Each structure stands twice: as C-alpha cells, then as structure tokens.
Amino acid sequence: MGQLPTYPEPSWSEAMSQHEVLLQSVWSNVLQATPHRELITPGERLVFSAMSMPINEVAVVFIGQDPYPTAGMATGRSFEVSAATHQLPPTLKNIAAEYTADTGKSFTHETIGSWARQGVLMLNAHLTTQVGISLAHKSVGWGDYTRLILREVREAQPHVIGVLWGRQAQEFRSCFGVGHTLQSPHPSPLAAHRGFFDSRPFTGVNTLLQRRNRTLMVW
C-alpha cells in the first residue's frame, strides 16, 4: 500500500493516531479506485494540508464536498484553488461575491490561506478524488474518517463553529454543538440563488464567536 498521507502539524497526528486503522483502510480503497497515484488529487502530501494549525486552535470549520477534479487545482483545503489557477471555478466565484458583499473586501488567492492562519479549517467531506472525476472516492470511507476528524476537533475545542453549505455538508451537523452551526444552500450556481447569496456567513461566524467571548475573525 505504501506510505499513508501525514498531518503537517503534530497535534493532529497525536489526536488521529487512534484512528490509523481506518485511515489505512480508506487509503487502500483510494489506491484500489485510482491505482495510478498521479491521478489522485490533491497529491498525497496535500491530503491533510488543511490541518496546518494546532487542533485546539480550530475555531471554525467550513465543510465542502470533495476536491476539484481538475489537475493541479486542489490544495487540500475545501473551496480553495492553487495559485496557478487563473480563473475561479463557479462555486468559488459565488463564495467570493458573497464574501465581498458581506465584508466589503476583495477576494484573492490569499484569502482562504489567511482564514486558515486564524484557525479556520477548510475541510472536505471526501479528502481526495480522481483527476477528471468528481466524487470518484465518495465510497472509499472518507466520510467516516471525516466524522472522526470533527469528533477530535470538538474534543479539543468544544465551541468550534461549523459552516454548512448545502445538504451534504449539513449531514455533519451532529458533529457540532447545539447553536454552533450556520447553514445555507450551497454556493454552486445551481443553488446559490436559493439562499446562499445575502446569507452573510462571515458576519454570522463573528456573531457566534462574540456571543462566546472568543476572538473574532479578521475576514
């Protein structure tokens, strides 16, 4: 099977070590589904790159579906695209539009990285896919592993806030405390006009943080 993906921050390795058997199973399934490793996206070293902050410093989790299937676009963080991507995909365009409407700031390639440095975990429900195929790894077991990630996050930080866009993300609502989630339709072109636009999620997160006397995000 080869080497498993590794966490870039030691506290994650420690927290998730008890779940390594499941990770071994998931990664074996990934390799069975996509035997040519160069077609797995994001690449092995980026699978857990969203976990760049200590686990007890996670304040907010945005849950996406799975990585962009276009080669070289996925970074390991949900919704984010690589700096080499010159045109934002439609869903990210809608997120950028709502971000600007909500905060008054311009969205750039650095924006999501700046959130991560403040404790925002951009997590996909399924952490890999195959180049050219959306949801190619939907059935390999990532969903179960993601729930364990969220369980460990909540154990380390009970007041973590979940931002859940769309029905698939909202299936993870039980992973967060009561009153600790913001929900809206998905920002994809098919759903954004049903309530994502004007939902003001960034202001909403800071409202929840303020109620809990926690540090506000500088969006």
Catalytic positions:
66
3-state SS, one letter per residue, for 29-94: HHHHHCCCHHHEECCHHHCCCCCCCCHHHCCEEEEECCCCCCCCCECCCCCCECCCCCCCCHHHHH
Q: Angle between the 90-103 and 201-211 helix axes, to the nearest 10 degrees? A: 60
**Residue 62, both tokens:** 């945005």
Nearest to 119 by CA among 209, 180, 43: 209
- Euclidean distance between the first and final Cα of the chain, in Å? 41
d(CA 63, CA 207): 19
Long-range Cβ contacts of 203-210 (<8 Å, 24+ apart)? 203/102, 203/103, 205/60, 205/161, 205/163, 208/161, 208/179, 208/180, 208/182, 209/59, 209/60, 209/161
Q: What SS3 state is found at 106? A: coil
Using only C-alpha atoms, the chain has a radius of gyration, in whole angstroms, of: 16
